Amino acid sequence: MYKAGKYDEALAMCSKAAAVSPNDFRPSYISGLVYMALWKMKSASEAFAKAISLKPDIKQIYYFKASADRYRNAREDSIAAARKAIELDPNYAEAYEILGEVLAIGSKDNDGAIEAFRTAIKLKPDLFSAYTQLGIHLDAKKDYKGAEEVYRKAMELDPRKMECRFRLGRVLIEQGRLAEARALWDGRSSDKVNTIPSFISLLERAEKLKQATDDLAKKPNDPEALLQMGLMVMEGESWSVDGRQERALVYFKKALEVKPGFTKAQYAIVKAYIQIADNYKDKNKNVDDELAKLRRLDPKLADEMTEYRKTYSGSIKVGTGTVDQ
């Protein structure tokens, strides 16, 4: 029933089985798996704890409890369960992997997590998820060389050479190695990605920014080049508050200095301030002032920005559902 996705039936059967044989760990164990599938992690953790109390020598139960505790952010409980699984089997690669994930939660020092991921890979060289995690944490420490080595090793082991391919591409983009990143994209065998923004979005954005930078270097006082540079600087995810709009405004304002009445630059200034004001309400006066300037230049574009102001939201929308913590 669990494998068929019939979770209510599975739980009912587990309850009956536990009543018939209260000392059998399996009903609690299976209940834990069902609760995890339902994303009821607190219930899952409790079920695994019950199974452990009945059968304390099975490493997989500790692993699943560590996973459930990890997803409900019970850091210390998860660490304890993962370490117990490793105690039962020092070669349990998956337990080292979950340990690495948990050690990284709320920690400013990821060395312990990195060491756990390295151990997982050493024990199980085809555990590709551990390569991904290790690379992410090395990247976060700005160890681009280390992250690149990890991602390339994963690609080498993968027959389709897709594992960690796009992660490697991101590392190359961070270093400005855009031609190499483009070659990675062109050599792909799949477009499937699980990250937002996607690798190709980041790559195209970086390529456009480089082109705008090169064009501006050739014509430092050209209003169109200044406008395009500002637009490329302002490109990014709507929910990312990283000051890019403020940096873009420098180019837009300079374009207006060079070419007074440059409508496209004024339009861009209004758009930038609308985005800024979404997070900093005190900037709404700037929006009002700049929008009035745009209206004098082009009423139609001003109407367009007025509507944009009403509808723009840079926030990530969160559902109203509840989660069993």
16-31 pLDDT, tens digit each: 999 999 999 999 999 9
Report the distance separating Cα 103 and Cα 116, nearest Å. 9
What integer pLDDT is reported at residue 316 of this predicted model?
53
What is 7-201's CATH topology?
A: 1.25.40
Report the distance separating Cα 325 and Cα 320, nearest Å. 15
pLDDT tens per residue across span 155-164: 999 999 999 9
What integer pLDDT is reported at residue 105 of this predicted model?
87
pLDDT tens per residue across span 276-316: 999 999 999 999 999 999 999 999 999 999 999 999 988 65
Res. 318 pLDDT band, cuts 50 70 90: very low
pLDDT tens per residue across span 227-246: 999 999 999 988 889 999 99
Residue 145 has pLDDT above 90, yes or no: yes
Share of the chain above pLDDT 70, in %: 96
| Mean pLDDT value across residues 106-126 | 91
Residue 117 has pLDDT above 50, yes or no: yes
The CATH 1.25.40.10 portion of the chain extends over 7-201
What integer pLDDT is reported at residue 315 of this predicted model?
63
| Mean pLDDT value across residues 42-47 | 98
Res. 323 pLDDT band, cuts 50 70 90: very low
288: its two tokens: 């009002």
| Mean pLDDT value across residues 251-273 | 97
What integer pLDDT is reported at residue 53 of this predicted model?
97
For the domain covering 215-311, report its CATH number: 1.25.40
> With helix as H, strand as E and coil as C, how does the chain read?
CCCCCCHHHHHHHHHHHHHHCCCCCHHHHHHHHHHHHCCCHHHHHHHHHHHHHHCCCCHHHHHHHHHHHHHCCCHHHHHHHHHHHHHHCCCCHHHHHHHHHHHCCCCCCCHHHHHHHHHHHHHCCCCHHHHHHHHHHHHHCCCHHHHHHHHHHHHHHCCCCCCCHHHHHHHHHHCCCHHHHHHHHHCCCCCCCCCCCCHHHHHHHHHHHHHHHHHHHHCCCCHHHHHHHHHHHHCCCCCCCCCHHHHHHHHHHHHHHHCCCCHHHHHHHHHHHHHHHCCCHHHHHHHHHHHHHHHHHCHHHHHHHHHHHHHCCCCCCCCCCCCCC
What integer pLDDT is reported at residue 109 of this predicted model?
67
What integer pLDDT is reported at residue 317 of this predicted model?
43
Q: What type of residue is 216?
A: L
Report the distance separating Cα 2 and Cα 36, nearest Å. 11
Q: Name every residue whose Cβ is closer than 8 Å to that of residue 147 and which is 6 or more positions away in sequence.
A: 135, 136, 138, 139, 167, 168, 171
Q: What type of residue is 130?
A: A
Question: For 12, what's the count of Cα atoms within 13 Å in the CB-facing half-sphere?
Answer: 5
Task: Give, in order, the Cα–Cα distances in Å from 300 to each of 183, 216, 263.
Answer: 43, 29, 11
Share of the chain above pLDDT 90, in %: 89
Report the distance separating Cα 321 and Cα 325, nearest Å. 12
Q: Name every residue whose Cβ is closer than 8 Å to that of residue 319 and which is 6 or more positions away in sequence.
A: none
Report the distance separating Cα 72 and Cα 260, nearest Å. 56
pLDDT tens per residue across span 85-100: 999 999 999 999 999 9
What integer pLDDT is reported at residue 196 of this predicted model?
83
Q: What is the mean pLDDT of the chain?
A: 94
155: its two tokens: 């690609």
What integer pLDDT is reported at residue 270 of this predicted model?
97
What integer pLDDT is reported at residue 6 of this predicted model?
96
Please indicate, yes or no, whether the overall pTM of this predicted structure exceeds 0.75: yes
| Mean pLDDT value across residues 64-85 | 97
Contact 255, 226 (CB under 8 A): yes
